[in-house]
Each structure stands twice: as C-alpha cells, then as structure tokens.
C-alpha cells in the first residue's frame, strides 16, 4: 500500500524533482568558515583525536566561543589541564550549553551542545576539580579562542 503510493507520487512529480536538483543555497552558505573536521564534530557529534588541539597549550587570558556561531561558552579562568588530551573546563558560562544523555559508551555520559546553534561541543564528566567537580571535555575544533586585549 505504502509502496504503491510512493510510486504514484514519484511518477507524477518527475518533472518537479529534475527542476530542483541544484544544490540548495542555504546549505552551502552555512558550510563557509568551518573545516571538514570541525563540521564532523559540530554537526555529526564527532570527536577529535586526543592531544590534537592547539588549545590544550593555550594559557592566555581570553574567551572561548562556539566555532560555528560565536556563542561565548567558556572563559580562560574556567580552563584547567586535565591530562586527558582535550581542552577541559571545570565550569561554563551559564545558559550557553544544553545537555542530553548519550549512550554510545557502555555507561551513560552527558553530551552537551551549544545552546545557540545546537552544535556538538563535547561531554561532561563528574571527575573535575573543585568547586564544581565537573570536567567539561571539549573538542578544540568546536571552539574559537579570543585572547583578551
Ligand atoms: Zn554555536
């Protein structure tokens, strides 16, 4: 029943489909400025290899923003060296992130996204330092660092 219906529609719509086969303009625009690797993280929940981010060695004062939409997520005061190989923060700017549980590993872990654009940033673990005891484990490619002038 469903199969027959699909067939009838596609037969009648053939001309329309051909006319719209050009790539959509809005998709092309959104892709500008982000590398393939960054897009994989932000849009497909990817993870960069450990110790690959130059932000691990970033010790200057400044702010960390979503690489996709520029939303302010962390400040340099929240950053610490976790030794895990990913930029780590014990806190985040209130209201900048949204969380959801992710069951890709055997145990659930909280995956978090930029609250402004929905881009995947990283995962939050409960083994961070005081006062929050949280570790916001972030992909460096999903962030843009802006040093304080
Ligand atoms: Zn964003």
30 CA distance to ligand 1 middle (Å)? 12
pLDDT for 135 beyond 70: yes
In this prediction, residues 27-56 reach a mean pLDDT of 87
Q: Looking at per-residue confidence, does 17 or 139 come out higher?
A: 139
Cβ-count burial of 139 within 10 angstroms (0-12 exposed, 13-18 middle, 19+ buried)? buried
CA of 39 to the centre of ligand 1 (A): 12
**Inter-residue contact 42 to 143 (CB < 8 Å):** no
Higher per-residue pLDDT: 130 or 32: 130
Rounded average pLDDT over 55-62: 97
Cα separation, 111 vs 42, in Å, equals 12
> Which residue is catalytic, options 66, 114, 117, 137?
137
- Separation between Cα atoms, residue 46 and residue 139, nearest integer Å: 9
Q: Find the range with the poorest average confidence among 30-39, 64-73, 102-111, 136-145.
A: 102-111
Mean pLDDT for all residues in the chain: 83
pLDDT at 149: 84
At 105, list the tokens: 């590993």
> pLDDT per residue over 75-119, tens digit each?
999 999 999 999 999 999 999 999 876 556 555 678 999 999 999
The enclosing domain of 64 has a CATH number of 2.170.150.20
- With a CB cutoff of 8 Å and minimum separation 6, the contacts of 138 are 64, 73, 74, 86, 87, 88, 89, 121, 122
| Inside any domain, residue 30 | no
Q: Residue 116: which domain range?
A: 44-147
Considering the domain boundaries, does residue 80 fall inside one?
yes
In angstroms, what is the span from residue 27 Cα to ligand 1's centroid?
16
Instruction: Report yes or no on 135 lying in a domain.
Output: yes
The Cα–Cα gap between 40 and 94 comes to 26
Question: Which protein residues have their CB within 5 A of the ion that is ligand 1?
Answer: 66, 68-69, 71, 114, 116-117, 119
- Whether 23 maps to a domain, the answer reads no
Peptide linkage before 124 cis (omega within 30 of 0): no
pLDDT of residue 21: 43
Decide if 25 is inside a domain. no
Active site residue 66: no
**Is residue 125 assigned to a domain?**
yes
- Cα of 90 vs centre of ligand 1, distance in Å, is 19
Give the chain's domain count.
Answer: 1
Is position 11 within any domain? no
- 120 within a domain of the structure (yes/no): yes
């Amino acid at each position: 029943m469903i199969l027959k219906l699909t067939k009838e529609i596609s037969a009648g719509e053939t001309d329309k489909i051909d006319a719209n086969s050009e790539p959509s303009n809005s998709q092309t625009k959104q892709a500008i400025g982000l590398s393939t690797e960054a897009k994989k993280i932000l849009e497909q929940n990817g993870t960069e290899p450990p110790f690959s981010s130059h932000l691990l060695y970033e010790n200057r004062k400044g702010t960390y923003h979503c690489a996709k939409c520029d939303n302010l997520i962390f400040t340099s005061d929240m950053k610490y060296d976790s030794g895990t190989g990913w930029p780590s923060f014990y806190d985040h700017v209130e209201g900048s992130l949204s969380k959801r549980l992710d069951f890709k590993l055997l145990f659930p872990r909280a995956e978090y996204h930029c609250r402004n654009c929905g881009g995947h940033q990283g995962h939050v673990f409960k083994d961070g330092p005081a006062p929050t005891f949280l570790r916001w484990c972030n992909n460096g490619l999903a962030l843009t660092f802006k040093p304080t002038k």
